[in-house]
Amino acid sequence: MCLSKKRYASWRETQDDFAGYKASLGPHDIDSLFEFLGRDFPASGLPFTRDAVKQFVSSDETELWSEGFIDPLSDEYPVRTAAELCDVLRALRHDLRRSQSDWENPTLDRYIEALDLHLQTRFGVGTTIGWADLASWFKTARRNEGVEIETWATRAEILTGDQLAVCWQHDHDGTGRLALKCHSQGFAGTGRAWFADQTVVEFADRLTQFPLDADDLPTLSGGIEARDSYRELVGVTVVPYGNRGQINVRVHLATDLDLDLLEGQHESTLHLLTTYQRLADFGNRLRAVVQATEQTEVVLEGERLD
């Protein structure tokens, strides 16, 4: 396989440059290239490492030829980023399907989907996560014929199911920034806004009430005042749902228009179904985080009652 920086008008021009030409695909950025390679080379491994491709992109060379194949499940494949862990998981998925393992492939698929989402949203950039340790653990667990994927997804702070993750960052002046990640029924969003400590503490306290007061529901809204108008960036409303003790957590998330986004403001509204007990536990943890002095993430797990 050869990667080329040269622009070709058609496959016929490409064919003229390469003896034994079979096909050409692209253009690709690095992530989409490895996503394609992960689908197309499950048995033989990958023809390049990400390091080799990154060095090629920044070099003056116009062509990069593969010299062999490297299996992402081997210890020789370097893993330092979430993207490289994704390569490992794709290879692991192919390996499991070939071996007809008893592992739960749909769970692994959800992990890969969630990891892709994590990469796309870039939430939590700057947070150090042990991608290499996770990759090593997955490889070892594969050899030992067993792994609890959901547990390790949680340790990597990646949402794999219906969840609302909240991170509070103190500003030490009685305020802080609340960052939310929500994933529900295949939809996801992120948002962040500034709040007074006491506002979040009072909201957390109200989440522990049973039953919820239909005339005074727990709500939280943060955003920006602009030109005599209010633009909500983070909104959470909690309401009882149905007659089986379900709770519907409505989460509205939006980006600030001041950000350099060519597409304008991104916005999503999600509904997370959970239960009173999970909501109360979440409220207690959230209050403790705001009243502490360290930056911590707390998670509200979704739960649907049959």
Output the tens digit of pLDDT for each of the chain's 306 residues: 889 988 888 888 888 888 888 888 878 888 888 888 887 676 678 888 888 899 998 999 998 998 888 888 887 888 887 778 878 878 877 776 665 554 445 555 555 665 655 555 443 444 445 677 777 777 776 655 544 554 545 444 454 568 898 988 888 788 988 989 888 877 778 889 999 999 999 999 999 999 988 888 999 999 887 667 788 899 999 999 888 888 999 999 988 765 444 456 678 899 999 999 999 999 999 999 898 865 577 889 888 876
pLDDT of 147 reads: 47
- Establish how many alpha carbons lie within 13 A of residue 192's alpha carbon, considering only the half-sphere containing its beta carbon: 11
Q: Which long-range contacts (CB under 8 A, 24 or more apart) does 213-220 make?
A: 214/239, 214/240, 220/195
